[in-house]
Amino acid sequence: MKSRSLKQVRLATLAFPPLGAFWLWTSREIRLRRKILGSFGITFYSVLYAGLLIFLFLRSGLLEYEFRGGYIPRLTLHKTVPDYTALEANRQQQKKTIPSSPATGVQASAYWNGFRGPRRDGVYDEMPIKTAWPDSGLEPVWKQPVGGGYASFAIADGRAFTIEQRRAQEVATAYDLQSGLELWTNSWDASFREQLGGDGPRATPAFDENRVYVLGALGELRCLNATNGQMLWRKNILTENGAPELTYGMAASPLVLGEKLIVTPGGPAGHSVVAYNKLDGTKIWSSLSDEASYSSPMVVNLAGREQLLIVTAERAVGLDVATGTLLWEFPWIVQAGNRNIAQPVVLATNSIFLSAGYGTGCAGIEVDYSSSNFQARELWRNKQLKNKFSSSVLWQGYVYGLDEDMLTCLDARTGHRQWKEGRYGYGQLLLASSDLIILTGDGELALVKAESARWQEIARFAALRGKTWNHPALGGGFLLVRNSYEMACYKLSYR
């Protein structure tokens, strides 16, 4: 039948050539269509099959997913969550070990006394550090399980202080810096859970004169004896100030300033920023009615005056230290209905840097004092550096930070981008000995030269397992890193 049909087509072609040409063209078109449809079908069904397999693996628990900072969740065999069984077994084993003196072999200082260091600027200048790392990576002084959450460490007098989620409790903990041994805990019932950001407390403790100030994700504020963990006073800053819970939990670290302890509950009717007496918790003053953001209060000197620098839900403000009176304000709204996370960076004697993710970008702000008034104005603004979870650092006139997940260098005066290179996930960084120490979003430690001319990564190795959003801490020459699964200590001092 087929041969007869072909014979008829040939006869028709001889009789009427245009008909033959049309037949050849349509035949090729059909074959091409079949080829395209075949490729599309193979691709479509492959994607469909792969999606079905992923769905079945997720349902069966063989595969999991977690958000690591981007808009698309990451597939993983193991989510970065605490292994409570391993943690409890480790701490039981530690109880059989006689702890050495906490300050043994460690410089007994309180230099790194809280979030991002003594000035909250992420710059370490206590002593020079080793910047020649072996190709295989640094060997940890110790590594062990830890509870959940995103807090960093305060380091003082041979101890490291943090806050963790352990089952249904938030737990303030103190560790021996040299050995990692747990020295004491102070716990209370609280369990903050959030699907996108993750579970557990966020705020880094603050150390001052043998006292540790810890803040839980649901507003529990405690002053503890740094030697034994005994509670000296407590209160819930959300309840006391009528403030709402934040979507991602209370993340702003308390700030010790003279006799005051500054916190940012974000309460209405003048209870947004509060100064408590650090010794007994009595209220000294409260100010503003702004809702809170996730960034921590800082004390800075701008335009010749010491002041509190705070970013609230919709603006950056300068407050008088003694009274909380508003000195100046600058509108700062993060896009997509989000709130500021990154710390401001002081650029010069009268200018600061603000940055946020979610497509917001960054800006240079000038703060001047004239005619008995402070004024803030925009110097420049662009989207070249978008700090989402991390904060930037300043070195020799240039700002270094993560634009989403890529390391970027900006000219602090103009905002002009010098370079953008190297992917580090949604990690954190600090500056030490003119180098950047980056704890990547996947738990790697990287060392990068802080040079405006070009990007130069010196070393990189795996330090922790899994998603890592916690800030690194560096005190006495010891680098501490953690996430919600494990913690580790690396010695960077020459001594």
pLDDT cut 70: percent of the chain above it: 88
pLDDT at 14 over 70: no
According to the model, what pLDDT value does residue 103 have? 47
According to the model, what pLDDT value does residue 58 have? 65
- Report DSSP letters for 10-74, one per residue: HHHHHH-HHHHHHHHHHHHHHHHHHHHHHHHHHHHHHHHHHHHHHHHHHHHTSSEEE--SSSSPE
Continuous segment of H or E residues that includes residue 379:
strand 373-382
CA–CA distance, 71 with 79 (Å, rounded to integer): 17
> At a CB cut-off of 8 Å and minimum separation 6, what does 117 contact?
111, 123, 124, 430, 474
pLDDT band at 371 (very low <50, low <70, confident <90, very high): confident
Whether 409 contacts 400, CB under 8 Å: yes
Phi-psi region of 54 (alpha: psi -120 to 50; beta: other; left: phi over 0): alpha
Whether 449 contacts 465, CB under 8 Å: no
Whether 59 contacts 51, CB under 8 Å: no
Q: Which of 378, 374, 334, 326 is nearest to 353 (CA)?
A: 378
317-360 residue pLDDT tens: 999 999 999 999 999 999 999 999 999 999 999 999 999 999 99
What average pLDDT does this structure show over 406-427? 98
CA–CA distance, 191 with 311 (Å, rounded to integer): 26
Q: What are phi and psi of 148, to 5 degrees?
A: -85, 170
Q: Between β-strands 393-395 and 398-403, what pairing exists: parallel, antiparallel or unpaired?
A: antiparallel
20-70 residue pLDDT tens: 555 555 666 666 656 666 676 677 767 776 667 667 766 776 788 898 998
**In angstroms, how far is the first alpha carbon of the chain from the final one?**
93
Continuous segment of H or E residues that includes residue 171:
strand 169-176
> At a CB cut-off of 8 Å and minimum separation 6, what does 436 contact?
393, 400, 407, 429, 430, 446, 447, 448, 449, 450
